[in-house]
A and B are shown apart, each in its own frame.
Chain A
């Protein structure tokens, strides 16, 4: 019986971690897709604890509920991603703060604080003596995008 309880504890801890991480992610991120992922993560955390409880009580109602949740999550993913797609198309950005028209009238819009100014000159890195050989890079292999 103790092992059963320990197992339940472990599962519940993982579920709570998943839920908490998802929650923090949802609150702290502005990218719509990432937020969506965070929501999914919360959902899975809940599903996991449901399954654990179901196993603990030997009652399959919880597992059935999880099947439903998965089905609903699939549908939700379809709808949610479609919405995200439309919103991204209309604004050209994935940032959720672009969409804040539902604020009170006379309320100033939220604006990102201005970025700190770029340093005028690239920082002077210390010159170190090259150690070893610089690998040879072919020009046709360098078409990677440096800022992504």
Chain B
């Protein structure tokens, strides 16, 4: 069995090789077979990731082997050093007051070093396994979905590049490298949203995603600067200096800076996470990102890339523990996003947009859980991330099948009653919907209940109590909008759009197999890990989370989880089922009921508010885009008139001088003679003086 360093290197390297190979050979040599390198690379990478999980799990079970130093190791981590990427000697001169905030041994100048270090710990292992597994299924699905597209090879090259970037993002052990791959996944996202770049909407959506992400990335970059000035290192692990998430820092929590600095760092990190994970108020790019091919929406904009923000916050949890305010902000943003996105999803008519808002809402749940700042909350958030990756990818791929069958139409008003035409899609989509709505025994039930239980535990705090109610209400909304989309699409009178040419294209087997696998996963993963309690325990061995267990006290967890396990499932199931029942009553009943409901809410102004997405886009358009455009126009004018004018004046100067001197060259010998004479006289005159 290969050891951990080999696995860690191979997992990103194989997709990268596939990306390069497809990019180099795809257009001329591979053409219709361009999926082969990517399927092979991502498939092997997936296999190795599962092996890695196994290896790490074994390492966690045998903690004795890892104790090398005098003090016991916190959690389990294994580092693989590859090479030093950048080094600057004596880059850090600590400020006068920072020596007491960061620790005794940190006085004097320090070197800036970025080492290519890959880390294996439970958090990384889980992320790697999720990313590569979903990627593999999506890639297989894409073989059928993207068949015949002129950019077939380009698509698979981008996807492999994305898998490389994402696996690197979750396995690097340095903030600078994390930032680089953070940008790299953003780039892949941009390229894939704008995959059909000849379509103006797709190009605009790509640009929008890129620009909105810039705001978040700006926050992340500032957070990095602040981390550097505060801690004098950007490594997660210990080197000659204690790393930000390294053993020596985790062993001495008092070394973490507190107060305003900690809050500022966390809020800036959260800004970065908001951009990447589409949290309010930076969520506007994700619905537009649905212009990309559906497998991309499933992989990047539902299952993996958008969870990078969650990963970042979970990874930096020790920093968030140091600041209560920042955690409250995280929880508030999460709750607010979960609620607003769910409200918007109620009235959308585009199947993929409904799912996009649902993704935003579910990501809000994860942040809500992380905002609790406890070990249980963090593992619950990560558990939701894990299960969400399966059922949201499933839902998107199902939506993709519908879209494929309907000839590219995705507006749920234009089709209906498809359950006989697309039976496989129907059943798998139903599984996804049940998981999303949190119905027992599907995966979403367990992960959502874990979050709700954690909220209930902290409900002594009025803010958390409020958020608990928000979360419960969102469960109801989630169940309603999910089954609204489901019933409208698959039930009722059969209706096909003109583009489908009155017969649905049957999905090929390469599209159905991933759907079935994902459906099975969304049925079993939650129950399996809940019953074995393996997931939380495994994740708790991550160094930065193991520290939480010590910091927040795990003693009372047992009693709580036992109590919560009885109350929360009953509530959430009741709420979820009532949502489904309402959706069934409205959309399975007589046709008039849906219109009546819409008209009734419209009279209160609520329908338009939801349908127009709380006017967030319009607000941005008015307060950000328009002023920016005006500024751009002004800059353009200044550039053309002032800067270019100045340059033109300097360009004209030699010509003007030339024009004035040109008559001197008149070709007349006596004139030249006279000029020489005068020059001679002038020379003699100056010598005379």
With A and B bound together, what is the CA distance between A26 and B674 in angstroms? 9
Which residues in A have their C-beta under 8 angstroms from that of B669? 35, 96-97, 99
* Residues 646-689 (chain B) with a chain A CB within 8 angstroms: 662-663, 665-670, 673-674, 677
Question: Do the beta carbons of B670 and A103 come within 8 Å of each other?
Answer: no
With A and B bound together, what is the CA distance between A23 and B677 in angstroms? 8
With A and B bound together, what is the CA distance between A23 and B666 in angstroms? 21
B175: min CB distance to chain A, Å: 65
Chain B residue at smallest Cβ distance from A101:
B667
A134 on the B face (CB < 8 A): no
Question: Do the beta carbons of B665 and A103 come within 8 Å of each other?
Answer: yes
Which residues in A have their C-beta under 8 angstroms from that of B666? 100, 103-104, 107, 110
With A and B bound together, what is the CA distance between A100 and B669 in angstroms? 8
B673: min CB distance to chain A, Å: 5
Question: Do the beta carbons of B677 and A100 come within 8 Å of each other?
Answer: no
With A26-B673, A27-B674 as given contacts, are A110 and B668 in contact (CB-CB < 8 Å)? yes
B597: min CB distance to chain A, Å: 83
Chain A residue at smallest Cβ distance from B670:
A27
Question: Do the beta carbons of A107 and B668 come within 8 Å of each other?
Answer: no
A101: min CB distance to chain B, Å: 6
Which residues in B have their C-beta under 8 angstroms from that of A96? 668-670
Question: Do the beta carbons of B674 and A107 come within 8 Å of each other?
Answer: no
User: Which range holds the interface residue count of chain B?
Assistant: 10 to 19
Interface string of B472-502 (1 = CB under 8 A from A): 0000000000000000000000000000000
Interface string of B142-154 (1 = CB under 8 A from A): 0000000000000
Which residues in A have their C-beta under 8 angstroms from that of B668? 96-97, 100, 103, 110
A30 on the B face (CB < 8 A): yes
Number of A-B contacts (CB under 8 A): 44
Question: Do the beta carbons of A104 and B665 come within 8 Å of each other?
Answer: yes
Contact of B667 (CB < 8 Å), options: A26, A30, A102: A102
Which residues in A have their C-beta under 8 angstroms from that of B663? 104, 107
Which residues in B have their C-beta under 8 angstroms from that of A99? 667, 669
With A and B bound together, what is the CA distance between A123 and B665 in angstroms? 43
With A and B bound together, what is the CA distance between A102 and B667 in angstroms? 5
User: Which range holds the interface residue count of chain A?
Assistant: 10 to 19
Which residues in B have their C-beta under 8 angstroms from that of A100? 666-668
B58: min CB distance to chain A, Å: 88
With A and B bound together, what is the CA distance between A100 and B668 in angstroms? 5
Which residues in A have their C-beta under 8 angstroms from that of B667? 99-104, 107, 109-110
With A and B bound together, what is the CA distance between A53 and B666 in angstroms? 40
Which residues in A have their C-beta under 8 angstroms from that of B670? 26-30, 96-97
Which residues in A have their C-beta under 8 angstroms from that of B662? 104, 106-107
Contact of B665 (CB < 8 Å), options: A26, A97, A107: A107
With A and B bound together, what is the CA distance between A106 and B456 in angstroms? 92
Which residues in B have their C-beta under 8 angstroms from that of A26? 670, 673
A108: min CB distance to chain B, Å: 9
Which residues in B have their C-beta under 8 angstroms from that of A107? 662-663, 665-667
With A and B bound together, what is the CA distance between A27 and B678 in angstroms? 11
With A and B bound together, what is the CA distance between A110 and B666 in angstroms? 8
Most B CB contacts (10 A, CB to CB) among A29, A99, A107 go to A107
Chain A residue at smallest Cβ distance from B669:
A96
Interface string of A14-30 (1 = CB under 8 A from B): 00000000010011111
Interface string of A66-91 (1 = CB under 8 A from B): 00000000000000000000000000
A7: min CB distance to chain B, Å: 26
Which residues in B have their C-beta under 8 angstroms from that of A104? 662-663, 665-667
A146: min CB distance to chain B, Å: 30
Which residues in B have their C-beta under 8 angstroms from that of A110? 666-668
Interface string of B210-224 (1 = CB under 8 A from A): 000000000000000
Which residues in A have their C-beta under 8 angstroms from that of B677? 23, 27
With A and B bound together, what is the CA distance between A123 and B622 in angstroms? 94
Question: Do the beta carbons of A27 and B665 come within 8 Å of each other?
Answer: no
Contact of B673 (CB < 8 Å), options: A27, A102, A103, A109: A27
With A and B bound together, what is the CA distance between A125 and B366 in angstroms? 125
Chain A residue at smallest Cβ distance from B673:
A27
With A and B bound together, what is the CA distance between A8 and B665 in angstroms? 41
B664: min CB distance to chain A, Å: 8
B296: min CB distance to chain A, Å: 63
* Residues 17-75 (chain A) with a chain B CB within 8 angstroms: 23, 26-30, 35
Chain B residue at smallest Cβ distance from A38:
B673
Which residues in B have their C-beta under 8 angstroms from that of A109? 667
Chain A residue at smallest Cβ distance from B664:
A104
* Residues 114-129 (chain A) with a chain B CB within 8 angstroms: none
* Residues 283-315 (chain B) with a chain A CB within 8 angstroms: none
With A and B bound together, what is the CA distance between A109 and B663 in angstroms? 10
A-B interface, 3 closest residue pairs, ranked by CB to CB distance from nearest: A103-B667, A100-B667, A104-B665
Q: Beyond the given A103-B665, A103-B668, please list 20 additional residue pairs across the A-B interface where CB-CB is below 8 A.
A: A26-B670, A26-B673, A27-B670, A27-B674, A96-B669, A97-B668, A97-B669, A97-B670, A99-B667, A99-B669, A101-B667, A104-B662, A104-B663, A104-B665, A106-B662, A107-B662, A107-B666, A107-B667, A110-B666, A110-B668
Q: Which residues of A contact B (CB under 8 A)?
A: 23, 26-30, 35, 96-97, 99-104, 106-107, 109-110
12 contacting pairs across A/B (C-beta < 8 A) = A27-B673, A27-B677, A30-B670, A97-B669, A100-B666, A102-B665, A102-B667, A103-B665, A104-B666, A107-B665, A107-B666, A110-B667
